[in-house]
């Protein structure tokens, strides 16, 4: 089969996904809240499904959904593009701008889909390692981007998997001192305290957001991009016409019309995240990183790592354990779940010294 395969796929393995057998799943930064558990939202969804025209193609431009998203982020509808998850918007950006052998700059460690999708599209990845403590190296990113004439540059902030949040000054310093397209992946922005900033007057910038995290709609697959009209027009050149299915559009539109029911959960996430960090820091064999997201990254020593993994398994918790990434050696990432599961996570990190 190899002889038929695109050259860029030889020796290439995709983003790793796992068959789940554990009871508590905290490996994918999902929300512990299922919107169907809220009576008001459940009734809204039931009505949407009852009245849905399954025989019709969806609106290719997702007009109603874009209108609600625009209200949510305080922009205009023309500044929004919807994708089948944020993953698809990442893919649209790469397909729109990256030609074979164009340089794609990412900081490392970060979200793997930038590398996966760039590789599939014959982009040449340059990774800029973080500084100590997973601080994103702004200066090196600018240097590498300019030196290699980067076509596109990914900034994930707050960053997955480290939780690190860049300051507005750092982000703007990179934008102002480089020439490439800049993808600002803000999948976790609602969990941070960063003030909003409008980049729609800059044609080089595209922001990526998602309803998978705070809104707890990962199963529906809705991501969106925010950019200038020119940027959105470019991305629309490669967008498949019916990329966001009709039921997803209808449910998401109606959930957004009742967004207060979801937004009031932000404090829960922040409080539980801070509690988890404080409790885990009591174990002096762990390094627990600050987080502006709905997850926490923890580094330990190889002598404690196996006992922690055993405890997680015993408690039927699926966490994200990093096995073969030197930059994340002995690291484990856990999503913020409900209080009981968070307690169980804290207990699982307790091992004999
Ligand atoms: C940084 C980052 N960007 C984008 C995504 C994609 O999210 P989705 O495709 O579910 O919208 C994720 C998902 O985990 C993520 O961590």
User: Residue of the nearest CA to atom 2 in ligand 1?
Assistant: 187
350 contacts 311 by C-beta, under 8 angstroms = yes
Given this model, what pLDDT does residue 2 score?
84
191 in contact with ligand 1, CB cutoff 6 A: no
Alpha-carbon span 213 to 111, nearest angstrom: 15
User: Residue of the nearest CA to atom 7 in ligand 1?
Assistant: 86
187 in contact with ligand 1, CB cutoff 6 A: yes
Instruction: Compute, in angstroms, the gap from residue 157 CA to the centroid of ligand 1.
Output: 12
**Residuewise pLDDT in 10s, the chain (353 residues):** 888 999 888 888 776 777 889 999 999 999 999 998 999 999 999 999 999 999 999 999 999 999 999 999 999 999 999 999 999 999 999 999 999 999 999 999 999 999 999 999 999 999 999 999 999 999 999 999 999 999 999 999 999 999 999 999 999 999 999 999 999 999 999 999 999 999 999 999 999 999 999 999 999 999 999 999 999 999 999 999 999 999 999 999 999 999 999 999 999 999 999 999 999 999 999 999 999 999 999 999 999 999 999 999 999 999 999 988 999 999 999 999 999 999 999 999 999 88
Q: Mutate which of 92, 160, 183 to test ligand 1's pocket (most atoms within 8 Å of Cβ)?
A: 160
Given this model, what pLDDT does residue 277 score?
98
Alpha-carbon span 160 to 254, nearest angstrom: 29
157 in contact with ligand 1, CB cutoff 6 A: no
Q: Mutate which of 16, 29, 86 to test ligand 1's pocket (most atoms within 8 Å of Cβ)?
A: 86
Alpha-carbon span 167 to 55, nearest angstrom: 47
Instruction: Compute, in angstroms, the gap from residue 90 CA to the centroid of ligand 1.
Output: 9
Given this model, what pLDDT does residue 289 score?
98
Instruction: Compute, in angstroms, the gap from residue 187 CA to the centroid of ligand 1.
Output: 6
Given this model, what pLDDT does residue 1 score?
86
User: Residue of the nearest CA to atom 12 in ligand 1?
Assistant: 187
pTM for the model stands at 0.96
User: Residue of the nearest CA to atom 16 in ligand 1?
Assistant: 160
32 in contact with ligand 1, CB cutoff 6 A: no
Alpha-carbon span 282 to 232, nearest angstrom: 47
Give the DSSP per-residue string, 190-215: GGS-PPP---TT-TTEEEEEESSSTT
Q: How many CB atoms lie within 10 A of CB 239?
A: 24
**Is residue 79 classed exposed, middle or buried when 0-12, 13-18 and 19+ CB atoms within 10 A define those classes?**
buried
216 in contact with ligand 1, CB cutoff 6 A: no
- Phi/psi for 215 (5° steps) reads -75, -15
Given this model, what pLDDT does residue 12 score?
81
**Is residue 107 classed exposed, middle or buried when 0-12, 13-18 and 19+ CB atoms within 10 A define those classes?**
buried
- Residue in this structure with the two tokens 């089948």, named with its chain if needed: 84
Residue 269 makes CB contacts below 8 A (sequence gap 6+) with 191, 214, 294, 336
Alpha-carbon span 120 to 243, nearest angstrom: 19
**Is residue 133 classed exposed, middle or buried when 0-12, 13-18 and 19+ CB atoms within 10 A define those classes?**
exposed
Instruction: Compute, in angstroms, the gap from residue 163 CA to the centroid of ligand 1.
Output: 13
109 in contact with ligand 1, CB cutoff 6 A: no
């Amino acid at each position: 089969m190899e002889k038929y395969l695109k050259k860029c796929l030889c020796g290439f393995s995709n983003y790793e996904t796992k068959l789940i057998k554990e009871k508590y799943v905290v490996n994918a930064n999902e929300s512990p809240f299922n919107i169907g558990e809220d009576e008001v939202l459940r009734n809204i969804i039931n009505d949407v499904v009852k009245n849905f025209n399954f025989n019709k193609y969806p609106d290719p431009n997702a007009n109603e959904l874009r209108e609600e998203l625009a209200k949510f982020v305080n922009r205009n509808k023309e500044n929004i593009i919807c994708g089948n998850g944020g993953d698809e918007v990442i893919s649209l950006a790469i397909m729109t701008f990256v030609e074979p052998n164009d340089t794609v700059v990412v900081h490392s460690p970060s979200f793997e889909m930038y590398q996966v999708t760039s590789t599939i599209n014959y982009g040449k990845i340059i990774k800029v390692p973080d500084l100590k403590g997973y601080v994103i190296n702004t200066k090196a990113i600018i240097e590498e981007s300019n030196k290699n004439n980067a076509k596109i540059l990914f900034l994930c902030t707050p960053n997955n998997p480290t939780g690190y949040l860049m300051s507005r000054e750092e982000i703007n310093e990179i934008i102002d001192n480089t020439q490439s397209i800049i993808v600002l992946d803000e999948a976790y922005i609602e969990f941070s305290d960063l003030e909003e900033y409008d980049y729609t007057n800059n044609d080089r910038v595209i922001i990526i957001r998602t309803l998978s995290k705070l809104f707890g709609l990962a199963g529906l697959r809705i991501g969106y991009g925010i950019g200038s009209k020119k940027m959105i027009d470019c991305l629309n050149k490669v967008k498949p016409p019916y990329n966001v299915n009709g039921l997803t559009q209808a449910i998401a539109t109606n959930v957004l019309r009742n967004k207060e029911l979801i937004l009031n959960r932000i404090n829960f996430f922040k409080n539980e995240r801070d509690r988890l960090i404080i409790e885990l820091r009591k174990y002096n064999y762990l390094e627990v990183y600050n987080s502006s997201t709905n997850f926490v990254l923890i580094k330990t020593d190889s002598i404690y790592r196996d006992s922690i993994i055993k405890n997680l398994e015993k408690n039927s918790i699926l966490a994200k354990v990093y096995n073969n990434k030197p930059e994340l050696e002995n690291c484990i990432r856990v999503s913020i779940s409900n209080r009981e599961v968070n307690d169980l996570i804290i207990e699982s990190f307790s091992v004999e010294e």
